Amino acid sequence: MSDFWIYFQIGLRHVLDIHAYDHVLFLIALAVPFSFSDWKRILLLVSMFTVGHTLALLLSVYEIVAIKVNVVELLIPITILITALFNLFTAGKSSKKESISLVFFVTLFFGIVHGLGFSNYFKTILGGSPSSKLVPLGEFALGIEAAQIVVVFVVLILSYMVQTVFRFSKRDWTLVMSSFIVGVVLPMIVASKIWLR
């Protein structure tokens, strides 16, 4: 049980780390257009991120896939930007249900990219033989999922409060938050080390 808690906590901290806020930014961009009535859809999206993240770690841990760190560090904010821009262009439109498949695949892709970005650190934590890596990976994934559900729940509560107490429309709230996210990730993209070549 103690081993479970160790890897579970690493997963929690990985999402909730204040110094690595890209994960939280993506979750905000993902959740802001939704409300509590959409809980099944948002839970599916969050779980798809975890699946992508875990798949990337699995491929990396077993050395099936390797990607340059600079490329991953550029792709992460680009994926956040795509999600925020998607929100800006679809805010207030009734086609949100039809467009869920695009968000679904972007979320899966983000999970894969983010998993690759974390893979070197995770391999260092694991060590050991390949057969001993599957269980810790599952425990870590559960920690990721739990932390993501907490972040999404907080975003949904804030959305509800802003829309009921301050009388923001869902469209305006989505536009404001997505614009904020775009403003945060654009400097991250510009500052990427990949441009230094």
Can you give the pLDDT at residue 45?
92
115: exposed, middle or buried (Cβ count in 10 Å: 0-12, 13-18, 19+): buried
Give CA–CA dist 159/32, Å, rounded. Answer: 7
Give CA–CA dist 68/87, Å, rounded. Answer: 29
Q: Looking at the 3D structure of the chain, how many domains does it have?
A: 1
Long-range contacts of range 101-108, CB-CB < 8 Å, 24 or more positions apart?
103/30, 103/45, 104/44, 104/45, 104/48, 106/79, 106/82, 107/30, 107/45, 107/46, 107/48, 107/49, 107/52, 107/83, 108/48, 108/49, 108/51, 108/52
Can you give the pLDDT at residue 123?
78
Distances (CA, A) of 9 to 92, 93, 114: 37, 39, 18
Can you give the pLDDT at residue 197?
61
pTM for the full predicted model: 0.89
Q: How many CA atoms lie within 13 Å of 39's alpha carbon, on the beta-carbon side?
A: 8
CB-CB contact of 180 with 76 (8 Å): no
Given a cut of 50, the residues of the chain with pLDDT beneath it are: none
Instruction: Summarize pLDDT for 75-85 with one digit per residue, the tens.
Output: 999 999 999 99
Could you list the residue range(s) of the whole structural domain that residue 137 is in? 2-196
